[in-house]
Amino acid sequence: MAFKRTVQAVDAHAGIPMRVVTGGIPHIPGGTVYEKMHWLRENDDPLRKLLLREPRGYPAHCCNIIVPPSDPGADAGYIILEQVEYPVMSGGNTISVVTVLLEMGMLPMTEPFTDLVLEAPAGLIRIRAECESGKVKGVTFRNVPAFAAHLDAVIHVPHLGEVRVDVGWGGMFYVIADVRQFEGLELIPEHGREIARVSAMIRHAAAEQLPVAHPDYPGVGITISQLSGPSDDPRADWKNAVTMATGPLDWDNPATWTGAIDRCPCGTGTCAKMAVLHAKGELPLDREFRHQGILGNVFTGRLLESVTLHDRPAVIPTITGTAWIYGLNTLVLDHDDPFPEGYTIGDIWA
């Protein structure tokens, strides 16, 4: 039977599902992966919706498309797709992509370590994977420069009042708020609905009130939020819950005051948090930083060195984490399917 679209994918997770598309995508024009990302966004955004919305996806779902790299020193490229945007970098997705490329034999695995270079839209990401018995036991990647954009800024959030926040770049602009500002709110799965509500409101207010700019990615603003607090688990230093947008927020419509919590400890969010802590003098270079997600698993970060990014002080972080393959998928679109871009319903979507 012929289908309108047929896509092969490997499903992996580090808590949150991170689909890796390995086949079925026509040639994507562009000289670099960054240019390919822009072409896809402008010319075939229905593909992103098809892969991430129901019935093939759900709100807390990310996706990656494997593409040829433009840099001769890179082993593969990947474009990152999320519910409302195309991030230039994502840590959890990078860990999942590496796991799929090596465990599925798309790139050769060497034990005990495999070194490789991937080309993200943000540029070259250098990686070391710890491998044993054909499995990827851990992935460490060297991220793009991270920096603090705002420290201890006070914003007014409708229905919440004044909230103190930081803003950091770790591959996306994160607004970060200490959860201890909200009485009774804890970073536990049982409080997921309220975490998403508070986080979405903080994200939208910060985007309205705190200007940000990245010298290499014009037009990218605050698109994601993080509630943060110390962890009482001896395996971790801090705990976080990152909330991704699943649609536009309208202050006049409370049904839109929500999002999807990142079920993993969040790689770029950890980099942003480390950059903020470093700027405050609370995290020196070369100290292990163990960041726990809402499910309890941990990504470990480290700041390697201080650098200058277009006259702005920044730091180079690494992140170590693990992902696991959980499914092999052939996704199809029937010619007669009345929902070629999938669909969203307000019971679980913004």
CA end-to-end span of the chain, whole Å?
35
Residue 240 contacts residue 293 (beta carbons within 8 Å):
yes
How far from chain centre, in Å, is Cα 220? 14
Handedness of CA 102, 105, 108, 112 (dihedral sign): positive
Q: Which residue from 129, 156, 160 is spatially nearest to 142, judged by alpha carbons?
A: 129
Token pair of 297 as six digits: 């698993």
At which residue do the structure tokens 């019935």 appear? 55
Our answer to whether residue 306 is catalytic in this structure is no
Contact 1, 337 (CB under 8 A): no
DSSP line for 98-144: HHHHHHTTSS---SSEEEEEEEETTEEEEEEEEEETTEEEEEEEEPP
DSSP 32: S
Closest CA to 20 of 60, 79, 63: 63
Nearest to 240 by CA among 249, 252, 231: 231
CA distance 47 to 37: 12
Q: What angle do CA 218, 117, 271 make, to 5 degrees?
A: 50
Q: What one-character-per-residue DSSP string does 280-316 give? A: TTSS-TT--EEEE-TTS-EEEEEEEEEEEETTEEEEE
Q: Which one of 70, 90, 133, 225 is the catalytic residue?
A: 90
Among all residues, which ones are annotated catalytic? 90
